[in-house]
Structure 1
Amino acid sequence: MPSQLPPEAPALVLAALGDASGTAAELAALIRGDNPQIQVRLAALGEDGKELTSELEAAARERPEDATAAIVVPLLTGPHPVVDRLISAAVASSKVQVTVTEPLGPHPLLAEALHIRLSEKSLARADRMRLLNVSSPIDAVILATVGGENAAVEAQPTAVLLASRLTLPVLVASLDSAPAVADAAGRLRGIGAQRIALSPCLLGPEAPPGLASAAAEEIGAECADVLGAHDLIANLAARAYGSVLSAD
């Protein structure tokens, strides 16, 4: 990320599922604090994406007519059909020159954040110098996603990265589609894993509160917290913005 940007540099517009409070607002504050040179805007997608359209139009009014007004970063760890549709409709409605980035995952920093959330619940131990597992109280991990089967497929690289960090089997399952959490648990127990942890690959607003913990309880597993407003997630969002700038 450049330490300085010209006034006409695109705004970083964070597109948040649901409303713009809680996790989304905390992430926006973290990004602003770490990157004061970036104009950070936060738009709740709600049910129609109109707030995102308004933010894009406002960003465009502050920039030259032929310049990219904004870089939209979805606050998601993977693809989500509802969010994809809302962002596309909002961008089209704004008639503003915009770049929309991919979701925040897969990425090594995402795997690191998941590892930290596991360790906070004593479901993984970490060498704090390298943030690698040194011994484990569990035998395997289920990486839980939402957003349908495509989101589960896209989470596979993150699962591989997390498995490498933990030196444990990690399977992807979906909280709202196939492959089901129960099926993943059955596969893991079939290879001898008895102590299983569920790791929600979610910021939080993507799923109803308690959905991940309920799924873990059903299979007799422990559950890590959702990622929430982790500083590594804020870092990923800033990196997504910076990667677009560097590609131009």
Structure 2
Amino acid sequence: MTAPAPEHPRELLPLDSTARLLTRITDQLGTQLSLVSLNGTRRPMHRTRQHARPAPVAGGTPAPTLVAVAHGSRDPRALRTVLELLDQVRELRPGLDVRLGHIELNQPLLPATLAAAGDGDAVLVPLLLSRGHHVKHDLPAAAAAAPALRSRIAAPLGPHPLLVEALHGRLLETGWDPEGGTSRSTAVVLAAAGSRDPDAATDTRRTARMLSDRLGGIPVVPAYASAAAPTVPAAVRGLAARGRHRIAIASYFTAPGRFATAAAAVAPGAAAAPLGAHPAMARLLLHRYDQAAGHGSPVTERLLASA
């Protein structure tokens, strides 16, 4: 038997409609708050704002928290750059809970960020450009030390075509023209941090090949600031010895820091800025998050470390 309809149906909302309304209000408040800096000023709007879409919600369950994991640096520009990048991420995905944790040197450190995230679901997205010790060991260890939080670990940002677009864009920002010299005189050094993990070198070499293709076949030589060979100065000397005197440095670093500064200092020509808050980086960060949130396994079962 069907229950009679209320005499004033407009005065009552179904429970699911009320929940959806409250969710929309909460998301809108979160979005507005994300545009306000700690000093009370309004953060600048970006063009990407017009393409924003709500955070994914499945069955009424909030989307996992996105925990961006930066390495950390004593260079104050590094933290400012990462915060700007995360502002872009929030504008692309309003309502998504986006937090920052550092492996070392900067606050908040990753364990504190995970503890503050509570007992829900989270995806740790390393702001690192290749596989290595931090991705394979440090992040799983930090996640395991916060068992109340159901964590997944996304793949590192590289290698990926969006990184190549960011590298290409940063090179062009310097005024460097890949067609400004002869094909035999032009080359690029892809300056990376370096790691003793062979997978990190494999990933960096793959990015170098992808950037070379993007530049129409101009040679791109991977080089490193530490822990691996060749060093950036050695790569520059080797290219010059082969007649490649028009050499640009592509900065394969997420943010400014000691290594990026040292690599730029030996550039015989153009030296690109670190990848930083390039729009392609924000899209890539969300892509890695979606990959892990959509089909990643809990960190205790599997580490997503491949592209």
How high is the TM-score relative to the length of structure 1?
Answer: 0.81
Partner of 2:152, secondary structure, is strand
Query: What's the CA shift string for 1:43-77, capped at 9, x where partnerless?
Result: 1232599732232233343x3xxxxx110001122
Among residues 196, 205, 210, which one is paired with 1:161 in the alignment? 210
Residues 1:208 and 1:157: Cα distance change in structure 2 (over 3 Å): closer
The residue number in structure 2 matching 1:101 is 154
Q: Secondary structure at the match of 2:292?
A: helix
Contact 1:17–1:205 at 8 Å: present in 2 too? no
Tell me which moved more, 205-214 or 222-231: 205-214
Q: Is the 8 A contact 2:188 2:249 kept in 1?
A: yes
Cα distance between partner residues in 2 of 1:139 and 1:156 = 19
CA distance in 2 between counterparts of 1:143 and 1:194 reads 16
2:231 equivalent to 1:180: yes
Q: Matched residues in 2 for 1:190 and 1:53: separation?
A: 48
- Residues 137-182 of structure 1, C-alpha deviations (whole Å, 9 max, x = no match): 5700000100325433321111111111112111100011312223
Is there any run of 5+ residues in structure 2 with no aligned partner, and where?
A: 1-51, 297-307
Output the aligned Cα RMSD.
2.6
Aligned with residue 93 of structure 2, among 30, 35, 38: 35
Report the equivalent of 1:22. Answer: 80
- 1:136 and 1:80, CA in 2 relative to 1: closer, same or farther beyond 3 A? farther
How many residues align? The count is: 230
CA-to-aligned-CA distance 1:107-151 (integer Å, 9 cap, x gap): 1111111111111111135xxxxxxxxx23570000010032543
Say if 2:290 is the partner of 1:232: no
Q: Would you say the 8 A contact 2:152–2:293 is kept in 1? A: no
**CA–CA distance in structure 1, aligned partners of residues 106 and 137 of structure 2:** 10
Aligned to 2:170: 117
Amino acid at match of 1:136: G
Structure 2 match to 1:70: 122
Gaps of 5+ in 1: 64-68, 126-134
After TM superposition, what 4+ stretches of structure 1 lie above 6 angstroms from structure 2? none
What percent of counterpart residues are identical?
34
Counterpart of 2:125 in structure 1: which amino acid?
V
Q: Shift in Å at residue 92 of structure 1?
A: 2.1
Q: Does 2:180 correspond to 1:136? A: yes
Deviates more, 1:191-200 or 1:20-29: 20-29
TM-score normalised by L of structure 2: 0.67
